[in-house]
Amino acid sequence: MDTAVVGHLFRIVEGIALLGCKAVLTGIRAEIANTMIEMGITITEKVTTKGTLQQALEDYGL
């Protein structure tokens, strides 16, 4: 199940990048992060990551 979630997440990020936007990803579960590391998927070039939604909103002044 985790590999399917990671694969889907990667496709969503790719779609967002194709539209010329940069995604902000928050609240990634440890299991998903471990699966991404094991699969060798790096999304740091296309995604800004934050620990919580509150941190992301603060960056945008909301």
In this prediction, residue 18 carries a pLDDT of 92
Point out which residues pair with 26 in neighbouring strands.
50
In this prediction, residue 58 carries a pLDDT of 93
Sign of the alpha-carbon torsion through 48, 39, 11, 1: negative
**Token code pair at residue 22:** 């940069």
In this prediction, residue 13 carries a pLDDT of 86
Distance from C-alpha of 38 to C-alpha of 15, rounded to nearest angstrom: 23
In this prediction, residue 19 carries a pLDDT of 93
Q: pLDDT, tens digit, for every residue of 1-47?
A: 567 877 788 888 889 989 998 889 898 888 888 888 888 877 777 88
In this prediction, residue 1 carries a pLDDT of 52
In this prediction, residue 45 carries a pLDDT of 79
